[in-house]
Structure 1
Amino acid sequence: MDSVKLGLKENWKQFALLVIVNGFVGGMVGMERSIFPQFAEVEFGVASKTAILAFITAFGISKAVANYYTGKLANKFGRRTLLLFGWLLAIPVPFMLIYAPSWTFVIIANILLGLSQGLTWSSTVVMKIDLVGEKDRGFAMGLNEFAGYFAVGIVAFITGYVANSYGITPYPFYIGVFLSIVGFLLTLFWVKDTRDFVKKEGKNNKTVELKNVFLETTFKNKTLSSVTQAGLINNLNDGMIWGLLPMVLFSLNFDNENIGIITAIYPAVWGIGQLFTGKMSDHYSKKGMLFWGMLMQGIAILFIPYSSEFAVLAGLSAILGLGTALVYPTFLATIAQATSPQQRAESIGTFRLWRDLGYAFGAIISGVTADIFGVEYAILTIASLTIMSSLIIKFRMPVNIKTVRK
């Protein structure tokens, strides 16, 4: 235990490895990001918006559940064990998509992908927080989320290009075969568990433990619950963008390559921006960053139905990415600051449960509204909810986030 030292500099090799691993995790989602609506329609003849977005619903629910139990079980089984198990679940997914006989089989593959994402992404988040200690927590989360979401954007662009050149299937999914196998091998041979770092930090940390982590994170604690609702709404609008934006672009007669570019700008800016916003959250008002980030997202989404030019849509995608970059590492840094080391994994797991249920809620709300009233109304509904979320941050969340000490 005496040999264990907290800090980014002290643990840079293991930290850098986890950044790379999380890049592979994000790439698995990017594999689907720009091509799935066309994949559903071209390969399986699925035209209903609700039916197409069912794959996001399945992904969101399974990932949310996996997030929660990763947090609950992290101390018992170890972060590395759960990370390895998550990669094992990921390996069959691209093969299932290549050989899928029906759309139902595709949805089953996305349930597996969601479980894998919950286990792998949550584990890397918690492990990085464990390694760095309190000082560089926001910066650590910025690097983590940069790696994941920049990879989402890059792989989304690559799959869009490959699909445009060689067809929707099978070639884009070969990328997933590579990512899942290499991610598993990196974890198996080089990643180390971080539970000893939690014990080390816990010796000097006097943060009062929450009586009920789930209830405090979800409803009772003003800081934690404000962050949780914003996380849910953030992924609710992300689920809508994932499912409906390619449809909007397709209806405007953009080809797969241009759809890939526009859909990739959002997660790429989101990813790169977190290199800076994560560090900002260590020094500036977390509440201010969360409010402005959610507001920027809402305004950007509001203008999507009224835009048809490539440059305008690319610009809105960039603004949406910047708004998301402001909030994403700040969510996790805020929760880590407001909870004890022993309860951190469970609180983050609870937050990520609700945050990723946002994918399911977003897909359902978007799909049903689009089928009944049209895509424009679905997008405006999601924009309104995002702006409302920013106001909840402004009026409910305390100005200063302080850990409560004995």
Structure 2
Amino acid sequence: MARRPPRPPGPAPAADGLGAARPLWLLLVWAPSWGRVIAANVLLGVNQGLTWSTTVVMKIDLVGPGRRGLAMGLNEAAGYVAVAATALATGHLAGEYGLRPAPFLLGAAYAALYPAVWGFGQLATGALSDRIGRKRLIVGGMATQAVALALVAVGTSLSLWAAVVVLLGLGTAMVYPTLLAAVGDVAHPAWRARAVGVYRLWRDGGFAVGALLAGVVADLYGIPAAVWTVAALTGLSGLVVAARMYETRPVAPGGAGSGRSPSQGSGPRPTPHTPRGIVNPTPSNRRRTTCSSRSTTWTASRRPRT
């Protein structure tokens, strides 16, 4: 029996994620213990996993291979520019009214400069990855982050740290939308949502593991040693990417991305893996399926656009 086409991503997961975030500010404002704070962070993780990942998958599917980097740049920029604006507002509220409850009426409080550079920078880096390829920006971004973190470790003045935060934001802007676009390049639409979920598990899991590792190192050897450790791991990650990653968006002679799949470039290159039970569509098994919902009718092809 023929397999049914994958269900197009819809708004339901995003709506569920928004619902999970509703009690967050109440938990944080009146948290009597760290246990309540941890519970609030669990809900925040559910919110992120459902809302952000769903919007990423939907935009990757909508724009096609030629503008994935631009779409991810716009998506990530919107989010992190909002984080920067919220950080400015919460900092002002904390200074005027105290740490609780006023700042939590708007969101998380931390320095605004880093997410501002990170957010606005992605407007350029995402689209740039569509033209020059993904790998160079990923490797360069990780190297930039490692240098910035090393400068944080040796810096002693606020002015230097401010400049370093700008450099760190630029490095992060080079990496964030480009990695998401690379996942979209290699993942078949039938299992792209799962691929984005796995990617985000490992990427965002690094925040938790990195925080725990940095905390242990800081307790044992001091804060500079913890920052040096993070810088070294970031630089090592860049070297691994430089040695192991293949270009998922080959560059045409004119300088723009060719739009070809990774298996169509010159030289040997791995092809995306298709999980068991999912057959890559071919002209022989292509089938058109018509689905109707009330007064809206749409036609989906068995061979989704990649």
TM-score (norm 2): 0.77
Out of 28, 34, 38, the residue aligned to residue 107 of structure 1 is 38
Amino acid in the other structure paired with 1:336:
G
Cα distance in structure 2, aligned partners of 1:164 and 1:308: 25
- Once the two structures are TM-superposed, the CA of residue 77 in structure 1 deviates from its matched residue by 8.8
Cα distance in structure 2, aligned partners of 1:173 and 1:136: 36
- Once the two structures are TM-superposed, the CA of residue 162 in structure 1 deviates from its matched residue by 1.1
Cα distance in structure 2, aligned partners of 1:77 and 1:92: 29
Q: Which has the higher contact order (CA 8 A, sep 6+)?
A: 1
Residues 185-200 of structure 1: pairs in structure 2 closer than 5 A: none
Aligned partner of 1:403 in structure 2 is 262
Are 2:228 and 1:380 equivalent residues in the alignment?
yes
- Identity, % of aligned pairs? 45
Are 2:173 and 1:325 equivalent residues in the alignment?
yes
Cα distance in structure 2, aligned partners of 1:398 and 1:77: 29
Cα distance in structure 2, aligned partners of 1:123 and 1:285: 24
Are 2:205 and 1:346 equivalent residues in the alignment?
no
Cα distance in structure 2, aligned partners of 1:77 and 1:107: 34
- Once the two structures are TM-superposed, the CA of residue 285 in structure 1 deviates from its matched residue by 2.6
After TM superposition, the runs of 4+ consecutive aligned structure 1 residues lying more than 3 A away are 75-79, 399-402
The number of residues matched between the two structures is 249
Residues 248-287 of structure 1: pairs in structure 2 closer than 5 A: 263-287=111-135
Moved more, 285-294 or 128-137: 128-137
- Once the two structures are TM-superposed, the CA of residue 403 in structure 1 deviates from its matched residue by 2.8
Aligned partner of 1:390 in structure 2 is 238
The one-character-per-residue Cα deviations of 1:199-246 (angstroms, maximum 9, x if unpaired) are xxxxxxxxxxxxxxxxxxxxxxxxxxxxxxxxxxxxxxxxxxx9xxxx
Shift in CA distance, 77/173, structure 1 to aligned 2, threshold 3 Å: farther
Aligned partner of 2:74 in structure 1 is 143
Aligned partner of 1:89 in structure 2 is 20
Are 2:54 and 1:123 equivalent residues in the alignment?
yes
The one-character-per-residue Cα deviations of 1:19-68 (angstroms, maximum 9, x if unpaired) are xxxxxxxxxxxxxxxxxxxxxxxxxxxxxxxxxxxxxxxxxxxxxxxxxx
- Once the two structures are TM-superposed, the CA of residue 354 in structure 1 deviates from its matched residue by 0.6
Matched position secondary structure for 2:130? coil
- Once the two structures are TM-superposed, the CA of residue 76 in structure 1 deviates from its matched residue by 5.7
Cα distance in structure 1, aligned partners of 2:8 and 2:77: 27
Are 2:218 and 1:370 equivalent residues in the alignment?
yes
Aligned partner of 1:61 in structure 2 is none
Is contact 1:142–1:274 with CA below 8 Å preserved after alignment? yes
- Once the two structures are TM-superposed, the CA of residue 79 in structure 1 deviates from its matched residue by 3.3
Q: RMSD of aligned C-alpha atoms?
A: 1.8
The one-character-per-residue Cα deviations of 1:148-205 (angstroms, maximum 9, x if unpaired) are 11111111121112111210000011114xxxxxxxxxxxxxxxxxxxxxxxxxxxxx
Is contact 2:182–2:248 with CA below 8 Å preserved after alignment? no
Matched position secondary structure for 2:117? helix
Cα distance in structure 1, aligned partners of 2:8 and 2:145: 37
TM-score (norm 1): 0.59
Shift in CA distance, 399/81, structure 1 to aligned 2, threshold 3 Å: closer
Cα distance in structure 2, aligned partners of 1:403 and 1:95: 47
Aligned partner of 1:36 in structure 2 is none
More helix by share: 1
Cα distance in structure 2, aligned partners of 1:103 and 1:78: 36
Is contact 1:339–1:403 with CA below 8 Å preserved after alignment? no
Cα distance in structure 1, aligned partners of 2:9 and 2:169: 33
Aligned partner of 2:142 in structure 1 is 294
- Once the two structures are TM-superposed, the CA of residue 118 in structure 1 deviates from its matched residue by 1.2
- Once the two structures are TM-superposed, the CA of residue 310 in structure 1 deviates from its matched residue by 2.0
Amino acid in the other structure paired with 1:153:
A
Cα distance in structure 2, aligned partners of 1:121 and 1:332: 12
Rg comparison, structure with higher value? 2
Is contact 1:289–1:327 with CA below 8 Å preserved after alignment? yes
Structure 2 gap segments, 5+ residues each? 1-5, 250-260, 265-281, 283-306
Aligned partner of 1:6 in structure 2 is none
Out of 135, 155, 169, the residue aligned to residue 307 of structure 1 is 155
The one-character-per-residue Cα deviations of 1:75-116 (angstroms, maximum 9, x if unpaired) are 669431000000000010001001111111111111111111
